Amino acid sequence: MAMGAATLTGLARRGYFIPYRYAPSDRPAGGYPALTPLFEAAAPAMRDVLAEAEAHRERFHAFDGAAPPEPRWQQGWYPRLDGLAAYMMIQRHRPRRVVEVGSGHSTRFLAAAAGDLAAREAGTDSAITAIDPAPRADLSRLAGVTLHRAVAQAADPALFRALGPGDVLAVDSSHIAMPGTDVDWLIGHVLPGLPAGALLAMHDIFLPDPYPPAWDWRGYNEQGAIAALLAGGGWRVLWSSHWVATRMAAAVAAGVAGTLPLPAGAHESALWLERLGRPQVIPTRAD
């Protein structure tokens, strides 16, 4: 209540209050069915990821009940299909750089995958940079991970400009697309400069479906921006944990993913995209 009062009175910025005269006539969000063909087209590629994961069955089972700094399945922040996808994307694309906005259990999966790949194949080292003002998990014991305690807007822009084809930008931040937020900054300032072949991993994305009704109180609106991104045609869907969990359950159950623990109530919601074509160069104004 104190945060809301401070925001409404203008005494301090503690959140967002948005007057909207047509709110009473709004209908519940029904998702983005126009995007469904993009996910249907990606289904074969997602099946390939599940099939290739079989080669890492022993490693995935080693994460069951593991102690930090190893990743583990016994947590709901970055559950089964999210962790599996992060591990597999590192194996498949061999990024030189990974920049992660928001950190924690996801960082552990990324670091484990990068470490395993480097141990198996010389010259495949991945430098992982985590940008997070208040990490929820201890990252200090993760080899190859550099932590910058900052919000995305305050991070060195050179970290993002250094991302090349095959590199990864992973985002699990505020999920609020409002003027000046990290989501606004990343979509408006960082993504336009990513080169063709760069990967974008977004978390808590349920496209083409709406957010879970139980999450209404969170006020997340990031999906609308990502939907527009996909509709623009400059990105290809590589993986969607939500799509795989809800439309490909039989394939999940038939493979190693079906043998991994999934905490009750956990939402599998990682979305991996690949940048297509050449990035648009937006000229800067001298004035």
User: Given this model, what pLDDT does residue 18 score?
Assistant: 78
Q: What is the mean pLDDT of residues 111-123?
A: 96
pLDDT of 284 higher than 60: no
Residue 285 has pLDDT above 90, yes or no: no
Closest CA to 209 of 36, 26, 83, 78: 36
Q: Answer positive or negative: Cα dihedral of 135, 178, 205, 237.
A: negative
State yes or no: pLDDT of 159 exceeds 90: yes
Supply the pLDDT for residue 24. Answer: 78
Burial of 10 (0-12, 13-18, 19+ CB in 10 A): exposed
List the beta bridge partners of residue 146: 129
Task: Tell me what the mean pLDDT of segment 40-46 comes to.
Answer: 97
User: In terms of Cα–Cα distance, which of 60, 96, 59, 57 is closest to 199?
Assistant: 96
User: At residue 266, does pLDDT exceed 60?
Assistant: yes
The answer to whether 235 touches 200, Cβ cutoff 8 Å, is yes
Residues comprising the chain, all counted = 287
Phi, psi of 235 (to 5 degrees): -135, 150
Find out whether the peptide bond into 69 is cis, omega within 30 degrees of 0.
yes
Q: What percent of the chain has pLDDT over 90?
A: 82
What is the pLDDT, as a whole number, of residue 9? Answer: 55
Q: Which DSSP letter does residue 239 get?
A: E
Residue listed under structure tokens 């920049």? 99
